[in-house]
Structure 1
Amino acid sequence: MTLEVPELTQHTVSTTAGDVAIAEAGSADAPVLVMLHGGGPGASGIANYHQNLPALTKRFRVLLPDQPGFGGSYRPDQAELDAKSITQIAVDALVEAFDALGVGSFHLLGNSLGGAAAIALAQQHPDRVSRLVLMAPGGGWLPFGPTPTEGQKEMWKYYNGEGPTLKKMKSFIGVMTAQPKKWAETAQARYDASLEPSHVDFYHRLNDHFAKRRGMDPLWRDLHKVTAPTLLLWGRDDRTITLEGAQIMLKYLRDVQLHVFGNCGHWVQLERQAEFERLVTDFLA
């Protein structure tokens, strides 16, 4: 049985850097859960997490921000990317947006690029984050194998060369997931979203940004600053942010547990949806 996606309220919040788009669902009286999406082409809060809303809004007021550069949020220009990392840009804009919405403390969940923003926010604003869920997060992971990883190479190639194609998107999802044939409709939707001209321009700037900074911020150096109880969710077959890099997080996070999914890649919330929703609900409750 397909569950109906709850009604979404759309906010456009003005910050000093630009507008941030935030979708909201669930009861206003429920505990707040902020869910930060990853950084792949066509990503947004709704695109990455819409399938999880029927289950999670039973217990939480869910906020789905589009991080700067993605979805309906503003696109950081070159000057901003030269001045700050994309992770810090996201943290600063999101905190300002949450203040504008009157959101004080909240549970926080992030995947990949959104995982990096979630770690940095928990490090810099520990009083705001009640509990933290990280799915293969950038920045907190220290790989033992070659970098860039297979998935990181796919993301870099997507907008380069001849530019976006549906074939490239299917190849990208083939690396992101353990069973790509199951997600054919996802490929088409993500491809269509990836063609938005300002997002294409931003992604070229973002790729150059990562090249100049040699990847994500080394957030693993300050994992001890995270005080929130933390749940790590990882696909055993993740080829983007690989499982062995989780060891440093297990060593240095104060209050941490890890759940590993076999036959699962980078998108736990999609590939192992029911188990993801159960584990997140139980942990946050």
Structure 2
Amino acid sequence: MTDVSLKQHVVNTSLGEIAVADVGEGPVLVMLHGGGPGASGVANFHQNLAALAAGFRVLLPDQPGFGGSYRPTEADLRARSVTEIAVDALFQTLDALGVERFHLLGNSLGGAAAIAMAQTRPDRVAGLVLMAPGGGWLPFGPTPTEGQKEMFRYYNGGGPSPRKMANFIRTMVFDHRQFGDDAVLARYEASLDESHIEFYHRYNASFAQRNGMDPLWRDLHKIKAPTLLLWGRDDRTITLDGAQLMLKQIRDVQLHVFGNCGHWVQIERQRDFDRLVTDFLAALA
């Protein structure tokens, strides 16, 4: 999946094991993936690693419930939200790896974890990049959004299928023609792990019981790190109108909007994404 050589870590935390891919040298950049079926750190960001690892030590954790990491139980999700669980597990993971201060990037569900980490321990986050993040966003249109509905639908109504994966990808991006049958099949096959499917049902139930993501927007002012917002104008999952609250409440913030682009900026605008992230974070050194 990638042209770079990855180190793999499995970190034992008090919650369970967290799988982390590690590549490059330099200031640490932690990249947190979104929450779609078949998601993981490497799966979501593999196309960006060659460019980013040229200037950073990139850490790609699989968030709890995804990839090679442990699956939160029903009791776990009753006690805490998936974002609260992720923040706890990720800080323990970084502590175990000896990482004190770092840059942080998150997309969607990973964006919610990134916001919460930057709010909880602002002293540890040097620079923050948020790509259509959950939790920091208040929609002006109806919810759940089209993309959220497609995620909920994927594991229900007969279970996963290549056709449903193609429909899911179609809602995530502006132009689905850039994703051929091989890409759809690879993502579909990654979504078939039984333990992940069981977790996803628990996660969706918890999401409904909690009325969506944690309301991180209430404490956006606690973010102290210089922040770059990257957003697709045509995002149908976490829509661009939500950026207004973040622009108002985060003190040191800038926004770059991509036309003809959906929820997966790192794929749809790969070269621009790589350049903007590299330039923004390098300027903070």
Give the unaligned 5+ runs of structure 2.
none
Give the unaligned 5+ runs of structure 1.
none
Q: CA deviation at 1:4?
A: 6.1
Q: Quick check: 1:269 aligned with 2:234?
A: no
Q: CA deviation at 1:186?
A: 2.5
* TM-score normalised by structure 1 residue count: 0.98
Q: Quick check: 1:49 aligned with 2:45?
A: yes
Superposed counterparts of 1:2-41, under 5 Å: 5-27=3-25, 30-41=26-37
2:200 is matched with 203
Tell me the SS of whatever aligns to 1:127: helix
Tell me the SS of whatever aligns to 1:107: strand
1:163 is matched with 159
Tell me the SS of whatever aligns to 2:160: coil
Q: CA deviation at 1:187?
A: 1.6
1:78 is matched with 74
2:220 is matched with 223
Tell me the SS of whatever aligns to 1:250: helix
1:212 to 203, 209, 212: 209
Q: Which amino acid aligns with 1:84?
A: R
1:241 to 206, 213, 238: 238
1:87 is matched with 83
2:55 to 59, 75, 80: 59
Superposed counterparts of 1:84-233, under 5 Å: 84-184=80-180, 185-233=182-230
Q: CA deviation at 1:183?
A: 1.2
Q: Is the Cα–Cα contact under 8 Å of residues 115 and 223 in structure 2 kept in the other structure? A: yes
Distance, in Å, in 2 between the alignment partners of 1:117 and 1:128 is 14
Distance, in Å, in 2 between the alignment partners of 1:72 and 1:164 is 20
Distance, in Å, in 2 between the alignment partners of 1:31 and 1:246 is 28
Distance, in Å, in 2 between the alignment partners of 1:181 and 1:70 is 26
Distance, in Å, in 2 between the alignment partners of 1:111 and 1:5 is 22
* TM-score normalised by structure 2 residue count: 0.98
Q: Deviations over 1:89-142 (max 9, x none)?
A: 000000001000000100000000000000000000101100000000000011
Q: CA deviation at 1:58?
A: 0.5
Q: Is the Cα–Cα contact under 8 Å of residues 6 and 22 in structure 2 kept in the other structure? A: yes
Tell me the SS of whatever aligns to 2:39: coil
Distance, in Å, in 2 between the alignment partners of 1:270 and 1:243 is 18
Tell me the SS of whatever aligns to 2:106: strand
Distance, in Å, in 2 between the alignment partners of 1:161 and 1:205 is 16
For this pair of structures, how many residues does the alignment match? Answer: 281
Deviates more, 1:275-284 or 1:4-13: 4-13
Deviates more, 1:182-191 or 1:261-270: 182-191
Distance, in Å, in 1 between the alignment partners of 2:77 and 2:213 is 13
Q: CA deviation at 1:6?
A: 1.1
Distance, in Å, in 1 between the alignment partners of 2:242 and 2:14 is 35
Q: CA deviation at 1:5?
A: 1.6
Distance, in Å, in 2 between the alignment partners of 1:150 and 1:271 is 19
- Aligned-residue CA RMSD in angstroms? 0.9
